[in-house]
Amino acid sequence: MHRYINRKYIMLYVMGTLTIGFLLLTAFVFFFPSSLIDREFSEEVQEHHNLILDTIMKAISWFGYLPNAPITVTSIALIFFYFKYKKEALFLLSTLLSGVVSSIIKLLINRPRPSEPLVRIIVRTQQQSFPSGHVLFYVLFFGFLTFLMYEIKTIPKFIKVTVSVISLLFIFTIPYSRVYLGAHWFTDVAAGFLLGLICLYVLSVLYLKKLSIKK
């Protein structure tokens, strides 16, 4: 019991730190929409480029575009539903709400996308820049998928490991992909990552709460 309480307080402390970090980053971008840090980071990331790397970076970002994101989430949710994991399927579908969250913040901050000649634009996008909706979605969706692989004991170990490795690979490569493609600044992807972790924590807590109520 004592260990459970300590773990709970540690998680609350971590989430509080992440929230403060996101708010500070948001305030920084709001008052300084164009920073030397962002330009220097983009320059370093885009310094070495070629057609093969362009293709790989585009492939990594593919799942975050419309209609790819809802199709991917719905397809995975249907697989869970087919194997009688109905609650898990519903929670996976709820990760699509990340698009609503990012769109609201984008409108409030209203930060322009990176533009030439400051950066090399490989993929042109429409919405505002801050925070990165791709990064937020990947951390939430693929993060929750990894969480489910840990929580559901009836899934074969081979599937657990495979899904977790692929999901984590997407989570940790998407920030680099968005900056490399010229779609976002460093602070955009950093904020998307922090916000994604916050949303992932909330979704995981709600999932475990519903699980305990059901038991």
pLDDT mean by block of 10 residues, the chain; 215 residues: 65 90 95 90 92 96 96 97 96 97 95 90 89 98 97 94 98 97 96 98 90 53
- Rounded to whole angstroms, how far apart are CA atoms 78 and 86? 9
At residue 57, the pLDDT reads: 97
At residue 55, the pLDDT reads: 96
- Please state the three-class secondary structure of the chain as a single string: CHHHHHHHHHHHHHHHHHHHHHHHHHHHHHHCCCCHHHHHHHHHHHCCCCHHHHHHHHHHHHHHCCCHHHHHHHHHHHHHHHCCCHHHHHHHHHHHHHHHHHHHHHHHHCCCCCCCCCCCCCCCCCCCCCCCHHHHHHHHHHHHHHHHHHHCCCCCHHHHHHHHHHHHHHHHHHHHHHHHCCCCCHHHHHHHHHHHHHHHHHHHHHHHHHHHHHC
Count of other CB atoms within 10 angstroms of residue 10: 10
